[in-house]
Every structure is written in structure tokens, then in C-alpha cells.
Amino acid sequence: MPVIPDLSSLSVGDEVARAEHRITRDSLVRYAGASGDFNPIHYRDDIAEQVGLPGVLAHGMLTMGIAVQPVVDWVGDPARVVDYQVRFTRPVVVDPIEGATLSLTAKVGVINADSSRVRIDITASAGGQTVLGKAQAWVSLA
């Protein structure tokens, strides 16, 4: 049974998770198969270039899913994440050889003691640039 973080031990600004996740072209193929999203901007350099993109892009929902995983690991149960929203601010360009590294930091943004919920603010960056804006997960610690 996972240990639920103790609400009383948390303060706004506390870092609760940090992770790096490598995304490869293989990751994109697997995600496309699982999601059914076979848009060629996610696997063909020539198509990405034709539409003015800097290269093949990771699926937005893949990026969003990877970004919340450290929060899920911290809280110990995905059902405790009761709300999760992001703004897509920059694409994650996935190099054919090097891939891309998604760097993630999760910090306590708001503590609501009355509802035993905590808002976790997630910073997600790739290539030194933030790729998700206002990435926030509300977590129930009740």
C-alpha cells in the first residue's frame, strides 16, 4: 500500500518531485499506435518541414502524460490526481538520433487544508525551454 504524503508536512514552494524522461522516435511510434494519432508531423521530417515545423514533434498528450507522472509517483496512486490541466506553449522537437529530454520539476503551489487538496505546479522543459505553461495537478491527500 503506498504511503500518502502528509498534508501537514507540506509548505508552498516545496519540491515534491524531479525527473527527466527521454523521448525517442520509438516513443512516438509506440504512442501513435496506442493513441491512434498517426499525424505525420510526429514521425516524418519531410512533412514536419513542409508545414513549417522545426522537426518531428512529440504528441502533446504524450508530453502531458509524461509531465504528470512524477506527481503520480509522489502521491502513490493515480486516482489521487483529481484535476490536471496544462497549456501547450512550445513543441517538443524529437531529434532522430538524440531524441529529446523532458525535464520535470513539481512543487507545491497551493495547500487547501479544508479539502485536503494540494495544487502541484509542474515545470516541464526540453532543450532549455519551457514546453508547458500553467501545468497544474490538484492532488487529494484525504
Q: Is the pTM of this model over 0.85?
A: yes
Q: Do 136 and 121 contact (CB within 8 A), yes or no?
A: yes
Query: pLDDT tens across 2-32, in order?
Result: 789 999 999 999 999 999 999 999 999 999 9
Q: What is the mean pLDDT of residues 51-69?
A: 98
Q: What does pLDDT average to over the chain?
A: 97
* pLDDT recorded at residue 1: 66
Q: Which domains does the chain have, with CATH numbers?
A: 13-140 (3.10.129.10)
* pLDDT recorded at residue 27: 97
Dihedral (Cα; 15, 115, 135, 94), 10-degree rounding: 80
Query: Angle at the Cα of 24 (from 19 to 26), degrees rounded to 5?
Result: 130
Q: What does the alpha-carbon distance between residue 11 and residue 65 come to, in Å, rounded to a whole number? A: 25
Dihedral sign for Cα 4, 9, 11, 17, please. Answer: negative
Q: What is the mean pLDDT of residues 65-94?
A: 97
